[in-house]
Chain A
Amino acid sequence: MHDDFTVVFRSHPKLLKPIRALVRTYLEVANFPREKIEEIVLGLDEACTNSIRHAYHGKRSGMIKLMARLGTVWLEFVLKDYGISPPEDFLNRERGKTIEYGEKTLIKPHGLGLIIIKRVFEEVYFNVDSDGRNCLILRTRRK
């Protein structure tokens, strides 16, 4: 497995659109099916959004590093930032708590991004590396 691309960008929400375009083009070149491309782009966008919102608390000058690797079996993205680390168990925390409104049961918006990430990618790992960077590893099978 080798790095196909690495891009470093600021934690500015306006940059999400060009990052999505880059990832979409990369996946098109790698011949992923259209529906899978849109799911991966969404899942990765959610991960970048979480970095901006939660690691940097909306600060627009943080640095985010995105790497993509395409192996024979797996497509892997590694997302790194220098922001505030989430709790160690955040990937396993209960999400999608509900609120009752009349006859409707609504899911609290908080945590929706993580729900999406975990439904798009078969494997999701998080660690803090030796330089103190948050590392989110997202993997999905090529087929």
Chain B
Amino acid sequence: MSIEIQIIEKNKNHKIQVSGQVDLYTSPNLRKAILDNVDKSISQITIDLSQVKYMDSSGVATLIEGLRSAMKQKKTFKLLSPSAPVRKVLNLSRLETVFSIVESDEE
């Protein structure tokens, strides 16, 4: 498996730290982690993408699905410090402005 996912629970905020490569093979794991956590009794979910070495459109689609699910449940959904490959695929997908992107946990 070329992806590692770690969940950090802090009060009503959950952070999902992702490292490795997110593609058609690995994105179902990320999807499950995000949707499982969005469904919990939380107010905010942050996806830490600083250690992602590669992401394709299936990873972006997974993030969109997470955002949509969070918005439906009136929860905050943020991307934390996306790595250069993540920014690249968001830019090529014309989706940079769709997500709330923060550079630190405090934002």
Contact = CB atoms under 8 A, between A and B. Distances in A.
Interface of A: 13-14, 16-17, 20, 38-39, 42, 45-46, 49, 52-53, 96, 99, 101-102, 104-107, 109, 112-113, 115-116, 119-120
A52 B68 CA distance: 26
Interface of B: 2, 21, 23-25, 54, 56-58, 60-61, 64-65, 67-68, 71-72, 85, 88-89, 92-95, 98
Contacts of B64: 106-107, 109
B92 A116 contact: yes
Nearest to A109: B61
A106 B67 contact: yes
B93 to A, nearest CB: 5
Nearest to A101: B71
Contacts of A105: 98
A120 B88 CA distance: 11
A14 B94 CA distance: 27
A74 B25 CA distance: 31
A46 B68 CA distance: 23
Q: Looking at B2, B64, B85, B92, which has the most chain A CB atoms within 10 Å of its CB? A: B92
Given A106-B68, A107-B93, A38 B85 contact: yes
B98 A42 contact: no
B25 A16 contact: yes
Interchain residue pairs A-B with the least CB separation, the first 7: A109-B61, A13-B25, A112-B57, A13-B24, A113-B57, A116-B92, A49-B24
A99 B60 CA distance: 16
B25 A46 contact: no
A124 to B, nearest CB: 14
A45 B23 contact: yes
B103 to A, nearest CB: 20
A107 B67 CA distance: 12
A113 B56 CA distance: 8
